[in-house]
Amino acid sequence: MRKHLLWTLFAGVAILSIISSCSEEEIKYKRYYSDGLTLYKDHCQSCHMQDGTGLRGIIPPLTDTTFLSKNRDKLACIVKYGLSDTIVIHGETYQTPMPAESHLAAIDIAKILTYVTNTFGNSQGIYDVTEVEAALNKNCE
Protein backbone atom coordinates (compact mmCIF):
# COMPACT_ATOMS: atom_id res chain seq x y z
CA MET A 1 0.00 0.00 0.00
CA ARG A 2 2.75 2.42 0.96
CA LYS A 3 4.68 1.57 -2.23
CA HIS A 4 1.56 2.32 -4.29
CA LEU A 5 1.11 5.66 -2.54
CA LEU A 6 4.74 6.63 -3.20
CA TRP A 7 4.42 5.64 -6.85
CA THR A 8 1.23 7.71 -7.23
CA LEU A 9 2.89 10.68 -5.55
CA PHE A 10 5.94 10.38 -7.82
CA ALA A 11 3.75 10.16 -10.93
CA GLY A 12 1.75 13.18 -9.81
CA VAL A 13 4.88 15.26 -9.29
CA ALA A 14 6.21 14.21 -12.70
CA ILE A 15 2.94 15.17 -14.41
CA LEU A 16 2.83 18.53 -12.63
CA SER A 17 6.43 19.18 -13.65
CA ILE A 18 5.62 18.49 -17.31
CA ILE A 19 2.50 20.66 -17.19
CA SER A 20 4.33 23.55 -15.52
CA SER A 21 7.15 23.48 -18.10
CA CYS A 22 4.61 23.65 -20.92
CA SER A 23 2.90 26.50 -19.16
CA GLU A 24 6.19 28.39 -18.76
CA GLU A 25 6.81 28.20 -22.52
CA GLU A 26 3.26 29.33 -23.24
CA ILE A 27 3.60 32.20 -20.78
CA LYS A 28 6.91 33.23 -22.39
CA TYR A 29 5.33 33.19 -25.86
CA LYS A 30 2.33 35.25 -24.69
CA ARG A 31 4.61 37.76 -22.96
CA TYR A 32 6.81 38.12 -26.06
CA TYR A 33 3.75 38.44 -28.29
CA SER A 34 1.94 41.06 -26.20
CA ASP A 35 5.11 43.09 -25.60
CA GLY A 36 5.85 42.73 -29.32
CA LEU A 37 2.48 44.28 -30.17
CA THR A 38 3.31 47.33 -28.06
CA LEU A 39 6.79 47.62 -29.59
CA TYR A 40 5.36 47.14 -33.09
CA LYS A 41 2.94 50.01 -32.50
CA ASP A 42 5.79 52.23 -31.30
CA HIS A 43 8.43 51.38 -33.91
CA CYS A 44 6.87 49.71 -36.97
CA GLN A 45 3.19 50.49 -37.37
CA SER A 46 3.58 53.98 -38.83
CA CYS A 47 5.16 52.46 -41.95
CA HIS A 48 3.91 48.86 -42.05
CA MET A 49 0.40 49.82 -40.87
CA GLN A 50 -1.70 48.35 -38.08
CA ASP A 51 -2.71 45.38 -40.24
CA GLY A 52 0.78 44.78 -41.66
CA THR A 53 -0.20 45.72 -45.22
CA GLY A 54 2.46 48.42 -45.62
CA LEU A 55 2.06 50.99 -48.40
CA ARG A 56 1.74 49.41 -51.81
CA GLY A 57 4.81 50.05 -53.93
CA ILE A 58 6.57 51.92 -51.13
CA ILE A 59 6.56 49.98 -47.82
CA PRO A 60 6.41 46.16 -48.06
CA PRO A 61 3.68 44.25 -46.26
CA LEU A 62 4.51 41.85 -43.46
CA THR A 63 2.01 39.30 -44.74
CA ASP A 64 4.32 37.16 -46.90
CA THR A 65 4.80 34.09 -44.74
CA THR A 66 7.18 32.56 -47.28
CA PHE A 67 9.48 35.59 -47.25
CA LEU A 68 9.47 35.73 -43.45
CA SER A 69 10.21 32.03 -43.02
CA LYS A 70 12.90 31.89 -45.74
CA ASN A 71 14.62 34.96 -44.28
CA ARG A 72 14.06 34.18 -40.59
CA ASP A 73 17.79 34.22 -39.90
CA LYS A 74 18.06 37.74 -41.41
CA LEU A 75 15.03 39.39 -39.82
CA ALA A 76 16.85 40.54 -36.68
CA CYS A 77 19.52 42.22 -38.83
CA ILE A 78 16.86 43.93 -40.94
CA VAL A 79 15.18 45.36 -37.84
CA LYS A 80 18.44 46.37 -36.13
CA TYR A 81 20.34 47.75 -39.13
CA GLY A 82 17.61 48.58 -41.62
CA LEU A 83 17.40 47.47 -45.23
CA SER A 84 18.60 49.22 -48.35
CA ASP A 85 18.34 46.26 -50.75
CA THR A 86 15.48 45.79 -53.18
CA ILE A 87 13.11 43.06 -52.02
CA VAL A 88 10.16 41.30 -53.63
CA ILE A 89 7.06 40.61 -51.54
CA HIS A 90 4.01 38.94 -53.06
CA GLY A 91 5.58 39.47 -56.49
CA GLU A 92 5.93 43.24 -56.02
CA THR A 93 9.31 44.99 -55.89
CA TYR A 94 10.09 47.37 -53.02
CA GLN A 95 13.07 49.73 -53.12
CA THR A 96 12.36 52.20 -50.33
CA PRO A 97 15.07 51.86 -47.67
CA MET A 98 13.98 50.76 -44.21
CA PRO A 99 15.59 52.81 -41.43
CA ALA A 100 17.62 51.09 -38.74
CA GLU A 101 16.21 50.55 -35.27
CA SER A 102 19.73 50.25 -33.84
CA HIS A 103 18.61 51.53 -30.43
CA LEU A 104 16.48 48.43 -29.83
CA ALA A 105 17.81 45.75 -27.50
CA ALA A 106 17.92 42.13 -28.67
CA ILE A 107 14.97 41.26 -26.39
CA ASP A 108 12.86 44.00 -27.98
CA ILE A 109 13.71 42.76 -31.47
CA ALA A 110 12.78 39.23 -30.39
CA LYS A 111 9.42 40.45 -29.15
CA ILE A 112 8.71 42.44 -32.32
CA LEU A 113 9.64 39.46 -34.48
CA THR A 114 7.53 37.11 -32.37
CA TYR A 115 4.59 39.45 -32.94
CA VAL A 116 5.20 39.95 -36.68
CA THR A 117 5.90 36.28 -37.43
CA ASN A 118 2.68 35.26 -35.66
CA THR A 119 0.33 37.95 -36.96
CA PHE A 120 -0.87 39.08 -40.39
CA GLY A 121 -1.49 35.47 -41.48
CA ASN A 122 1.85 34.24 -40.13
CA SER A 123 2.32 31.47 -37.56
CA GLN A 124 5.96 30.73 -36.81
CA GLY A 125 6.16 30.44 -33.03
CA ILE A 126 8.41 32.28 -30.64
CA TYR A 127 11.43 34.18 -31.93
CA ASP A 128 13.58 33.89 -28.82
CA VAL A 129 16.16 36.46 -27.72
CA THR A 130 18.92 33.85 -28.10
CA GLU A 131 17.92 33.44 -31.75
CA VAL A 132 18.12 37.22 -32.24
CA GLU A 133 21.53 37.43 -30.56
CA ALA A 134 22.86 34.56 -32.69
CA ALA A 135 21.49 36.17 -35.87
CA LEU A 136 22.98 39.56 -35.01
CA ASN A 137 26.38 37.97 -34.33
CA LYS A 138 26.37 35.77 -37.43
CA ASN A 139 24.17 37.06 -40.23
CA CYS A 140 24.51 40.82 -40.36
CA GLU A 141 26.75 42.17 -43.08
Q: For residue 14, is it within any domain? A: no
Instruction: Give 23's pLDDT tier (boundaries 50, 70, 90).
Output: confident
Query: Which CATH number is 29's domain given?
Result: 1.10.760.10
pLDDT score for 140 = 84
Q: For residue 34, is it within any domain? A: yes
Q: For residue 9, is it within any domain? A: no
Q: For residue 126, is it within any domain? A: yes
- Please state the domain count of the chain: 1
Model's pTM, two decimal places? 0.83
Q: For residue 11, is it within any domain? A: no
Tell me the pLDDT tens digit for each residue of 81-105. 999 999 999 999 999 999 999 999 9
Q: Which domain holds residue 110?
A: 24-138
> Minimal CA–CA distance to 117: which of 68, 56, 50?
68
Q: For residue 16, is it within any domain? A: no
Does residue 14 carry a pLDDT above 60?
no
Q: For residue 54, is it within any domain? A: yes
Question: What is the chain's Cα-based Rg?
Answer: 20
Q: List, in sequence order, every beta strand (DSSP E) within 82-136.
A: 87-89, 92-94
Does residue 15 carry a pLDDT above 80?
no
Strands 92-94 and 87-89, sheet pairing: antiparallel
